[in-house]
Structure 1
């Protein structure tokens, strides 16, 4: 069995790394050969994070390379695995034409369809609003990271929809008794520059909390400043993300309740839990399926609830240990690649066999 894997990014792109690349060794052990072709290079992604535009000529070449690949080589494969979409911002009929004659699987960990159907320009909504729905309807299988995404795929007419959360490799994660603080507990958030804005949205709660219970806020992967909050900004690297999380005391995932955030898959909550940290997350989307209220953390809906939940954990070291211990168990039993990989392999074999 041989799979053509069309990812959006390479190793530096979180979605591609977690939804596709971390499964490659599992596929290989199962006798599945995978050829991976990213659309956006790591260099281009770094430029985007540095607020630079994609190189237009490089992007045109990337599109052409992918078109040429589908025109000339797709028949060598049992199926095509596509992260989100093969050719963004092209007509659905054109992408479906390139994919004709071979089964394809679509994978979603974000509500990407809202880039089209909720675009500020009416002409974009009219032309592209149902673009991903048409692709989902033609897929042999649509794999979704949460129920919100799965519901969209079902309403689009997808014939087969499966939910597989975005998960961690549990062997990389560990709890740590060596905490980062000198005299204050550490609240941690990990993410990218594009999602750090969600922390800013609870800035008032964090400042109010710090006046009551002093703490350090550790930001991994972005640079933030909040008046009245002691912030430590640290770069993200694959080698340091786990120890930097594990050294902390509490993990947070704030989100506004919007159509886009309902498509988020709660990955950072799982990272915290795998490191034995209690969690506090907004009562939004996949967070509801990850946080077990009163067992591994808290779900919150307001500024006041953010303050109360974090204050409770900051003042209760034994409660932090209790919730962190349960979070680690949940990560081991529900949210790791060791559990999801065998299931995904089985699904792909069924797709290839049915073709």
Structure 2
């Protein structure tokens, strides 16, 4: 990193790590989405039941998603809430109130649009502190309110009580999920604010020029160093 004209980091934690590793210049560019691809058009629930959604990989489902679901499964089932896990397995399945939806690039937006609430649970480790909140940004771009662990970039993306909620303990996850499931006006209000936040601060449309400017400046720095 010491030889780089510029290091681009996705959050402050990674930026600090880059500086400690010898980077001379660090710019923070958050994870972004193309808001022309992510729309707020909701996909109606086939059974009329509210859906709490998670998206990730089989490994992150095992380590991060499933432990939260398992602690809430009985309570959510009693409340008539479906937990949709996108990417948790390769094949679709439905067992009790757990709905497994395979992930694909072509279908991921529609899979999120079929949710009512997006969740991003994390444990506090160096790896999770380096994560850049992509799931949250995807949910919010589709107009969903979110519930997230207050760890790493999640704390920068979510404004607690405005476009989502933070939750750490099982009772907090349960309370916030049920609150949003039972309050459709609040879901819509928070989801609308969440979409606006992504448009203004986490969209490709906002950051593409700045990223290009960083590359140009870095290239000019290298050219100047060779000519000096």
**Structure 2: how far apart are the matches of 1:330 and 1:229?**
35
1:195 paired with 2:60, answer yes
Whether 2:126 is the aligned partner of 1:259: answer: yes
Deviation at 1:177, TM superposition (A): 3.9
Q: Tell me, yes or no, if the aligned pair for 1:295 and 1:323 is still in contact at 8 Å.
A: yes
Which of 86, 109, 114 does residue 220 from structure 1 map onto?
86
CA–CA distance in structure 2, aligned partners of residues 157 and 264 of structure 1: 21
Secondary structure of the equivalent of 1:218?
strand
State yes or no: 1:146 paired with 2:19: no
Consecutive unaligned residues of structure 2, counting only runs of 5 or more, are 223-228
TM-score relative to the length of structure 1: 0.59
Counterpart in 1 of 2:226?
Answer: none
Q: 1:170 aligns with which of 35, 41, 54?
A: 35
**Higher RCO (CA 8 Å, separation ≥ 6 residues):** 2
How far, CA to CA, are the matches of 2:36 and 2:69 in structure 1? 34
Q: Distance in 1 between matches of 2:67 and 2:151?
A: 14
CA displacement at 1:219 relative to structure 2: 1.3
Task: Give matches, 1:226-237, under 5 Å.
Answer: 230-237=97-104
In structure 2, how many angstroms separate the alpha carbons of the residues matched to 1:285 and 1:208? Answer: 29
CA distance in 2, matches of 1:273, 1:181: 22
Gap change, CA 1:166 and 1:300, over 3 Å in 2: same
Unpaired stretches in structure 1, ≥5 consecutive residues: 1-135
Q: How many residues were matched structurally?
A: 218
Q: In the alignment, what sits opposite 2:169?
A: 302
| Alignment RMSD | 1.7
TM-score by length of 2: 0.90
Distance in 2 (alpha carbons) for counterparts of 1:179 and 1:266: 26
Q: Which residue of 1 aligns with 2:178?
A: 311
Q: Report the alpha carbon displacement of residue 211 of structure 1 after superposing the two structures with TM.
A: 4.5
Mapped contact 2:73–2:97 kept (Cα < 8 A): no
Equivalent position of 1:155 in the other structure: 20
